[in-house]
Amino acid sequence: MSEKKSPTTNPPRPIPQQKQQKQGQNKGYNAPPPPKPQVPSKKGR
């Protein structure tokens, strides 16, 4: 039962953490990478 509770709490715990990390990555990681290639493309236009 203890082992079943460990894996069950592990999946739900990373889900909320991933949501918070996704928001931070979207603002810092996902934000700069996508606009970076699009910015030079428009400037090179």
Chain segment 1-45, per-residue pLDDT in tens: 555 555 555 555 555 555 555 555 555 555 455 555 555 556 655
Residue 40 confidence (pLDDT) = 59
- E strand or H helix at 33: none
Residue 9 confidence (pLDDT) = 56
Residue 33 confidence (pLDDT) = 53
Residue 20 confidence (pLDDT) = 54
Global pTM reads: 0.14
Alpha-carbon distances, residue 10 vs 1, 7, 20 (angstroms): 14, 5, 16
